A and B are shown apart, each in its own frame.
Chain A
Amino acid sequence: MTIQATARLERATRVRAEDFLCAFDAGGAFPDARPGQFVHVRTPADLTLRRPFSVAAVTGRGRFELLVRKRGEGTAALLSLPEGAEVSVLGPSGNGFGLPEPGERAVLVAGGIGVAGLRHLSRTLARDGRRQVVLVGAPTATALLDGVLPGPTTDGAVRVEVATDDGSRGLRGTVCDLVGRALEETDAPARVYCCGPQAMLRSAAGIALAAGARCEALVEEVMACGIGACRGCVVRTRTGYRAACADGPVFDAAELVFDGEERA
């Protein structure tokens, strides 16, 4: 259920240069978000539209975190709010990720700020005692968002691999280079969860699908209503246009038609 509520900014913690983990309390009536769902935030800027953000964690009844990267006017205004300030939130919205089935390996693939969309999933898997492989990519070591996704555990339940374009940490290359390797390790069925820029989704999904894995991709589109009413945020799928806000933002990657691909 999606509702409109007033949320209080409890804390904004800088994770890296312009990325902040913001903790909100929207009150007990605000439903818990599932991993992959988002909230549509009315920023304090004088803008025409709200701004969508993945729920990065649920920390209690009506309490959640957003990882916000400063991009333009809306995010700048949001990040300039003092602690205790109130904003209107509409959510939790969208479909969210499907959880892996018993015996299925979870492979999380995050590019850049995409870690935001996977944090809630990763924490949920860890809580449920599920094994996960976390693959993270960034241009350089300093751009990596350490601490947003869980670190590796000694029992191997959480394994983390890193790729940087300049090789300053982990593999020199892209996070997509890690996907193929992670899938080849065993024959166990895998479910790949991708979140990041379009080019990364397209390439990671291509590798995952070619390896026979199921793949879910979280897509980002400019949104107006955020509830499926305006048809502004559509993405191309094999069965026609679907609304990223209401039918997504998580899609079965096999269904998506990426930019430049012919429509089936």
Chain B
Amino acid sequence: MRTPIMLASGTVGYGGELSGLCDFSSVGAIVTKTVTEAPRDGNRPPRLAETPGGLLNAIGLENVGIERFLDEKLPAAAALGAPVVVSVAGDSPAAFARLARRVGERPETAAVEINISCPNVERARRPVWDDPDATAAVVAAARAATGKPLLVKLSPNTADALSVAEAAQRAGADALVVANTLPGMRIDIETGRPALGNATGGLSGRALMPVNLALVWRIAAGVSIPLAGSGGVATAEDALEYLMAGASAVQVGTALFLDPDAATTIAEGLRRRMAHDGVRSVAEYKGMAGRMST
């Protein structure tokens, strides 16, 4: 990647929405909105609520479905000039496999990201993201369906993130995204009703960062594949924390709502920092925190 900065799924639409507002030469990769086989309407509004230092969203995976995505959205995303990672979600290992095959066949797809972690979609009692065996089944199915690099996006909402991460690695993941949003809620005290139409949503932004940073730290110690840190990255310093915890890249999401060109600011900040530290590659920062504490 040109820079270790990726734009996170669900915050850049299908990419084209940011056209003219973002210098894509500063972007390592765009991750498109998670796409499912059938189009989805998503949850009832309101879908957004701000919290101190964060944002709750309950979009509910609204997306145009795989057919329209392949016809219209993927070519437009590829035309922007940054590598395109396609995020997919299905309700069974077979569905993940079908989606991975369809998007993996396309030359515009640089990599496939498996989203097992969206908190806004009802699943079985034990969600895939909290179950190493279910995760392994999904990842193995997608792995068999495409030769493109396979990223697996984990959830912070799990009892044993490391076991899930190890299961994903064993099943053939090339990299892990650590991690998606945490479940959260706000109540409008005037009406006594939840602020979100779906009652609960996913917490992103700065408030999420220490949680996901700890996960990167923990998972980096147990797996050998690269990690992309996700959660609250807004500045070069935030990105550095993730790199030092053991990530090789970061994904920027909520920060784009304040600055759609945040990738440029972060990339410039990283370059300044590297010059100052006499560092030639961001890989030199990788896991520094771990090495120093041992």
- A interface residues, Cβ below 8 angstroms from B: 1-4, 42, 47-50, 88, 90, 221-236, 240-241, 246
Chain A residue numbers with a CB within 8 Å of B258 are: 42, 48-50
With an 8 A cutoff between CB atoms, is B259 at the interface? Answer: yes
Listed by A's residue number, 9 A-B pairs whose Cβ atoms lie within 8 Å are: A3-B21, A48-B50, A48-B53, A48-B257, A49-B55, A90-B21, A225-B256, A230-B10, A234-B47
Known A-B contacts A229-B13, A230-B10, A232-B47; A48 and B42 likewise in contact (beta carbons under 8 Å):
no
Query: B41 touches which one: A88, A90, A229, A241 (CB < 8 A)?
Result: A241
A2-B20, A48-B51, A230-B11 given. 18 additional CB < 8 A pairs? A2-B21, A3-B21, A48-B206, A88-B259, A222-B50, A224-B254, A225-B257, A225-B260, A227-B18, A227-B21, A230-B10, A230-B13, A231-B42, A234-B42, A234-B45, A235-B45, A241-B41, A246-B17
With an 8 A cutoff between CB atoms, is B227 at the interface? Answer: no
Provide the bound-state CA to CA distance between A226 and B258, in Å. 10
For window 17-34 of B, CB contacts with A under 8 Å fall at 17-18, 20-21, 33
Provide the bound-state CA to CA distance between A226 and B21, in Å. 12
- B interface residues, Cβ below 8 angstroms from A: 10-13, 17-18, 20-21, 33, 41-42, 44-51, 53-55, 57, 59, 62, 205-206, 254, 256-261
CB–CB B41/A240 < 8 A: yes
Known A-B contacts A221-B46, A232-B48; A49 and B20 likewise in contact (beta carbons under 8 Å):
no
> How far does the Cβ of B227 sit from chain A's closest Cβ, in whole Å?
25
CB–CB B257/A3 < 8 A: no
For the A-B complex, the count of residue pairs with Cβ-Cβ distances under 8 Å equals 97
Chain A residue numbers with a CB within 8 Å of B59 are: 230-232
Q: Of all chain A residues, which has the CB nearest B59?
A: A231
Q: Of all chain A residues, which has the CB nearest B58?
A: A232
> How far does the Cβ of B10 sit from chain A's closest Cβ, in whole Å?
7
Provide the bound-state CA to CA distance between A48 and B25, in Å. 25
> How far does the Cβ of A260 sit from chain B's closest Cβ, in whole Å?
13
CB–CB A222/B48 < 8 A: yes
CB–CB B45/A230 < 8 A: no
CB–CB A90/B45 < 8 A: no
Chain A residue numbers with a CB within 8 Å of B33 are: 231
CB–CB A230/B21 < 8 A: no
> How far does the Cβ of A233 sit from chain B's closest Cβ, in whole Å?
7
Chain B residue numbers with a CB within 8 Å of A49 are: 48, 50, 55, 257-258
CB–CB A241/B257 < 8 A: no
Known A-B contacts A2-B21, A4-B21, A227-B18; A47 and B13 likewise in contact (beta carbons under 8 Å):
no
> How far does the Cβ of A152 sit from chain B's closest Cβ, in whole Å?
37
Most buried by B among A48, A228, A232, A240: A48
Provide the bound-state CA to CA distance between A207 and B121, in Å. 39
CB–CB A229/B50 < 8 A: no
CB–CB A229/B261 < 8 A: no
> How far does the Cβ of A220 sit from chain B's closest Cβ, in whole Å?
11
Most buried by B among A47, A222, A223, A240: A222
Q: Of all chain A residues, which has the CB nearest B12?
A: A229
CB–CB B13/A1 < 8 A: no
CB–CB A48/B45 < 8 A: no
> How far does the Cβ of A264 sit from chain B's closest Cβ, in whole Å?
14
> How far does the Cβ of A235 sit from chain B's closest Cβ, in whole Å?
7
Provide the bound-state CA to CA distance between A240 and B42, in Å. 10
Provide the bound-state CA to CA distance between A241 and B205, in Å. 25
CB–CB A48/B12 < 8 A: no
